[in-house]
């Protein structure tokens, strides 16, 4: 996925708890950034992940989250996922990978997310079929089917963002001096402590 997307981990957990866990899971360093509770907005007695504060174009941004409250400000950017609780046979992330890949091929992900997500639920197998058909109709060419490994979970330990006076978040520049990604962004939120 990191070859297609800028991968960001965004959790409403406190960094002091989440960072050590992410360090343990993050052996391959797939995600570019980690965002924590301090990057959320407190709204209606819950922590909301406001994607508009990330400095990324929302037409290219997808949040995968198990809590609809987390994406209440941008539901059109959200692909819901079930909460994972110690089920080693859970393969939802693998089912989701082709859906995300197909979404990356559209100019704006939001209208297509709206087509595949109903009542904060998404059948990934059906969504893949619908998106593949939509893409083929629009482009007039068939996509080759391929197995994708969905192994982007965590990120390197490095400074992430700084708050700006306008309450937006500014991603720090990478080694090449760029602050905005050249690829769409996918924001993962996969646990709450």
pLDDT tens, residue by residue, 66-75: 999 999 999 9
What rounded mean pLDDT belongs to the chain? 76
- What percent of the chain lies above the pLDDT cut of 70? 71
Average pLDDT of the residues in 162-185 = 44
Delimit the domains of the chain by residue range: 6-189
DSSP 8-state code for residue 118: B
CA–CA separation, 3 vs 122, rounded Å?
Answer: 24
Average pLDDT of the residues in 116-129 = 94
* pLDDT higher than threshold 60 for residue 29: yes
Average pLDDT of the residues in 100-116 = 93
Give the model's confidence band at 176: pLDDT under 50 very low, under 70 low, under 90 confident, else very high: very low
Go through 161-174 and write b for each residue having 16 or more CB atoms within 10 A of its CB, e for each that does not: beeeeeeebebeee
pLDDT tens by residue, 136-171: 888 765 444 333 333 222 222 233 333 333 444 444
Give the model's confidence band at 58: pLDDT under 50 very low, under 70 low, under 90 confident, else very high: very high
Q: List, in order, residues 6 or more apart from 82 with CB less than 8 Å away.
A: 66, 90, 92
Question: For residue 184, what pLDDT is reported?
Answer: 56
Question: For residue 21, what pLDDT is reported?
Answer: 87
Question: For residue 32, what pLDDT is reported?
Answer: 83
Question: For residue 127, what pLDDT is reported?
Answer: 94
* pLDDT higher than threshold 60 for residue 175: no
Question: For residue 37, what pLDDT is reported?
Answer: 93
* CATH number among 3.40.50.1000, 3.40.190.10, 3.30.70.100, 3.20.20.70, domain 6-189: 3.40.50.1000
């Amino acid at each position: 996925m990191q070859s297609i997307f800028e991968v960001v981990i965004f959790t409403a957990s406190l960094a002091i708890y989440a960072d050590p866990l992410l360090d343990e899971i993050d052996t391959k360093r797939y995600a570019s950034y980690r965002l924590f509770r301090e990057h959320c907005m407190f709204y209606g007695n819950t922590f909301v992940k406001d994607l508009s504060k990330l400095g990324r174009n929302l037409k290219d941004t997808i949040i995968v989250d198990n809590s609809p409250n987390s994406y209440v400000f941008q539901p059109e950017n959200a692909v819901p996922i079930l909460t994972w609780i110690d089920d080693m046979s859970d393969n939802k992330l693998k089912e989701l990978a082709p859906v995300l890949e197909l979404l990356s091929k559209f100019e704006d992900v939001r209208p297509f997310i709206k087509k595949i997500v109903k009542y904060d639920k998404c059948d990934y197998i059906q969504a893949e079929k619908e998106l593949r058909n939509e893409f083929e109709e629009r482009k007039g060419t068939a996509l080759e089917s391929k197995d994708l490994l969905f192994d982007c979970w965590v990120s390197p330990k490095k400074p992430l963002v700084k708050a700006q006076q306008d309450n937006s978040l500014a991603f720090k520049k990478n080694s090449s001096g760029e602050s905005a990604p050249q690829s769409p962004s996918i924001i993962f939120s996969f646990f709450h402590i």
